[in-house]
Structure 1
Amino acid sequence: MADPISEPVRSVMKKIVPDPPRPKTPNTPFFTVQSDMYPPDALAHVSELLRGVIETIDEHCRTRAGEPGLNMLGNAMHASEIAFALVEHVHTRLYGQHAQG
């Protein structure tokens, strides 16, 4: 039985240029915590990061009120607010003051 693909077509189908190398996943993490970070500074950073998350979620939910799926962001907002309150509580109990921010 004859080959259904003729020799000229087969030669055109051969790959002339090899695939480019695949990008390598970096081994270094995007973010690391310095082991000598002063605990009150770490709490202050966490507090500010959580404040940013809360403000971002709040703004997103306000501008898209009534759209489906916002209840999941509402849950994320609630969890972020609880985490923020816990960080503030720990900072107050340990150091007698609220985290700067």
Structure 2
Amino acid sequence: MNLDPVIHAPTRLQIMSLLAAATEAEFAFVRDSLEISDSVLSKHSAALEAAGYVEIRKGYVGKRPRTWLKLSPQGRQAFADYVDRLRQIVGRPLTEDPRGT
């Protein structure tokens, strides 16, 4: 089993990780937490939505438009599988350093 290429992009992995720890997160919170621009978050969240991993909800708080992101059930499972696969990869015993150090 390979690592999911949709999740594997560093920014998408950060988004998935942040959303895995929450029920739902406001767009601005995700953007600020990851220290990325609106356009970067929009691009990557759209890719995750197209894969069925993220659900995007738009609405208003008072008169101000807001966007919320959350992992879909499929996205939550894909992220859990991704993390399990990473653990398999990094959990392998290290071989002895051939340089003898």
User: More strand per residue: 1 or 2?
Assistant: 2
Q: Normalized against structure 1, the TM-score is what?
A: 0.31
Whichever of the two has the greater Rg, that structure is 1
**TM-score under structure 2 normalisation?**
0.31
